Amino acid sequence: MKTVIINTPLGCTEIQGDENGISKIHVMNEDIEISTKIPKELKEAVLQLKEYFEGKSTEFSFKINPAGTDFQQKVWQELVNIPFGKTCSYLELSKKLGDVKAIRAVASANGKNPLWIVVPCHRVIGSDGSLTGYAGGLWRKKWLLEHENPVKQESLF
């Protein structure tokens, strides 16, 4: 498994992966040393994340390989379908997955997403439009949603 640490507007970010794809992208709450060399297996992910933060790209095309249960994989695949600049509630997500009663399980799988930004769990909000919980901190969720706001005139929240 290869690892690289990059700097983003939201903090130091660790990327892990190998020839089978990127398995983890994780923002850290502490500053640590930024990597000076990028393993070839991680270069495309680093480039695409940089372009995302610069506002030059709205989607990711590098290969991903997150580890998770079948249910988690199903939830994460549905998250990838939420378009850039749009949001979805946990209830809507549960409905799309075919089980409204699974809302807590969906929220739990969302919280265990190992691919920060690329699998856009930040696009899931409460049914009332509230930001609700976010593993990276609500300030990061707010920043990401505003970054993706196509209107760019005023804050969504």
User: Which residues belong to the active site?
Assistant: 121
C-alpha dist (Å) from residue 155 to 58, 78, 150: 19, 26, 11
3-state secondary structure of 100: helix
- In which residue are the tokens 């089980």 written? 99
First to last CA, the chain: 38
Phi and psi based region of residue 91 (left: phi greater than 0; alpha: psi -120 to 50; beta: remaining): alpha
Beta partners for residue 18, in sequence order: 21
- Give me 80's structure tokens: 């990838």
